[in-house]
A and B are shown apart, each in its own frame.
Chain A
Amino acid sequence: NAGVTQTPKFQVLKTGQSMTLQCAQDMNHEYMSWYRQDPGMGLRLIHYSVGAGITDQGEVPNGYNVSRSTTEDFPLRLLSAAPSQTSVYFCASSYLQGRQETQYFGPGTRLLVL
């Protein structure tokens, strides 16, 4: 199993450009999430999905779109990049046992918006 994979590893964008951060998992997990990590801010939840076709907003959803057409993939779209979106982005997939959720993270995508 590859686990959770994220592409690209690193990306530089100009303000106003759009791009999609890819996330895929091969563990057949129902739950997937996107977080951003900024210095001194920890991990903040952007969007999450509890299954194919279902998405919801997290703590900091503005400026980002997501979709979940398959169980395996959960892409994160930046429609018009802003310098404030410079961050490290982590995708996670997880499964539930009752109320206990076990979460697996990808290696991250480092994004720089100029």
Chain B
Amino acid sequence: DQQVKQNSPSLSVQEGRISILNCDYTNSMFDYFLWYKKYPAEGPTFLISISSIKDKNEDGRFTVFLNKSAKHLSLHIVPSQPGDSAVYFCAARDDKIIFGKGTRLHILP
């Protein structure tokens, strides 16, 4: 059973607009959530994280929102840039880190 779900396999956003990537989880023991970015033929790289005691964390153009009651988190990228085109993985941690299937983000010129 999938514990971390990214239900949108792909997303296309115009350059300069906001990209919103969504993630749902089922395990209430998760207390730390992460977003990774992955380019083809490279390993994933850490982007931003949030602890379960917070509901928002911001780092430059990237903001992660956590809604614990809904078991939902989202990543906002604003403004979106061409270099943001990549696969984005949502992940969650209890005693190990579990990943979702990823969302491929296309930034359109």
- Contact A42–B96 (Cβ < 8 Å): no
A42 in complex: contacting residue of B34, B51, B101, CB < 8 Å = B101
Closest to A58 in B: B96
> Which of the listed residues B9, B41, B44 has the most CB atoms from chain A within 10 Å of its own CB?
B44
Alpha-carbon gap, A102 to B91, bound state (A): 12
- Contact B44–A101 (Cβ < 8 Å): no
Closest chain-A Cβ to B77's Cβ sits at a distance in Å of: 19
Alpha-carbon gap, A57 to B41, bound state (A): 26
- Contact B51–A41 (Cβ < 8 Å): no
Closest chain-B Cβ to A98's Cβ sits at a distance in Å of: 8
How many B residues face the partner with a CB closer than 8 A? Answer: 23
Q: A99-B51, A100-B32, A101-B93 are in contact. Are A45 and B98 (CB under 8 A)?
A: yes
- Contact B46–A43 (Cβ < 8 Å): no
Q: A33-B97, A59-B98 are in contact. Are A43 and B44 (CB under 8 A)?
A: yes
How many A residues face the partner with a CB closer than 8 A? Answer: 26
A33 in complex: contacting residue of B31, B41, B96, CB < 8 Å = B96
Question: A104 near B: Cβ within 8 Å?
Answer: yes
Chain A interface (Cβ < 8 Å from any Cβ of B): 4, 33, 35, 40-45, 48, 56, 58-59, 90, 92, 94, 99-108
Chain B interface (Cβ < 8 Å from any Cβ of A): 6, 9, 31-32, 34, 41-46, 49, 51, 89, 91, 93, 96-102
| 26 pairs, CB–CB < 8 Å, chain A vs chain B | A33-B97, A40-B9, A40-B101, A42-B6, A42-B99, A42-B102, A43-B89, A44-B99, A45-B99, A48-B96, A90-B43, A94-B97, A99-B51, A99-B93, A100-B49, A101-B32, A101-B34, A101-B93, A101-B97, A102-B46, A102-B49, A103-B34, A103-B46, A105-B44, A106-B43, A107-B43
Given contacts A45-B97, A105-B43, 7 further A-B contacts (CB under 8 A): A42-B101, A45-B96, A48-B96, A99-B32, A101-B93, A104-B46, A107-B41
